[in-house]
Amino acid sequence: MTYVTAAAAHSYTVNLSILFGELPLLERPAAAAAAGFTAAELWWPFGEEHDPAPADLDALRAAFTGAGVQLTGLNLLDDLVRGGRGTLSLPAESDRFLANVPVAAALAGSLGATALNALYGNRVAGTDPAVQDALALDNLAFAAQAAHGIGAVLLVEALNRDESPDYPLVSAAAAVEVVDRVNAATGLGNARLLCDLYHLAKNGEDLPAVIDTYADRIGHVQIADNPGRNEPGTGSLDTEDLLARLTAAGYTGRIGLEYRPANGASADAFGWLPRELRAAR
């Protein structure tokens, strides 16, 4: 199955933290290029290291530039490798987060990225949620300033409650509420919703209504089919309709491909998207 009509209106970026994950990190940009992509995004790629060695940063830059692939988006310190869902609202991890922001912003800026994604962080047992929320606002404002410095937006994402039961932002409305608080605090207006259609679908949200309601707040869109988090056409989501609705709502940003290949190698998971549409425009 291919999606041509609606897909042709958008530009795509492939998430190299989940696709091509069968390859070493430094080989993934070239693999994406071989599949026809010229843009890619990443979760935080250095595990728990909030300030990786300059040689490691240089090697990642070289992998992208050598492959002719632009880095379009980067997670701030997310701690996904150890089961975290972000660090910015966790009192014990706040210093690591703050130290990571300029490092991540410098890396993103050097490769042309226009988005930094700040996962909110799980609730901490025994800690007042209001304390976490106040810390989150301070740290998000700091990150928004850093994003502004490289001409980027700061993304706030809702996750699904089944896979992230301790994560407090499990609806588009909850994430947008945080976005609005950050913009009010900084006056920069560069905080935006990361509209991940897979997570929102898992939460049972009305995706057309989310698109129509929050189109002016959406800074980035990510897709995967539901259930399974595999490529479009493997589940129940009407990807063709959703892409068309994004166009009609005025969304002109990229579509992030953040899914796991249903079968075989990642290179075989793009049949739904004609090769001529994969290069960023």
* DSSP string for residues in 204-261: T--HHHHHHHHGGGEEEEEE--TTTS-STTSSS--HHHHHHHHHHTT--SEEEE----
Write phi, then psi, for 204 (nearest 5 degrees). 80, 20
Tell me whether residue 163 is one of the annotated catalytic residues. no
Burial (CB < 10 A; 0-12, 13-18, 19+), residue 27, is: middle
Question: Which residue among the candidates 41, 93, 231, 258 is catalytic per the annotation?
Answer: 258
Please list, in sequence order, all residues whose beta carbon lies within 8 angstroms of the beta carbon of residue 6, skipping any fewer than 6 positions away.
239, 240, 241, 243, 244, 247
- Measured CA to CA, the distance from residue 122 to residue 90 in angstroms comes to 7
177 counts as catalytic: no
Q: Given 93, 157, 205, 231, which residue is catalytic?
A: 157
List all residues 6 or more positions away from 204 whose beta carbon is below 8 Å from its beta carbon: none
Catalytic positions are 157, 258
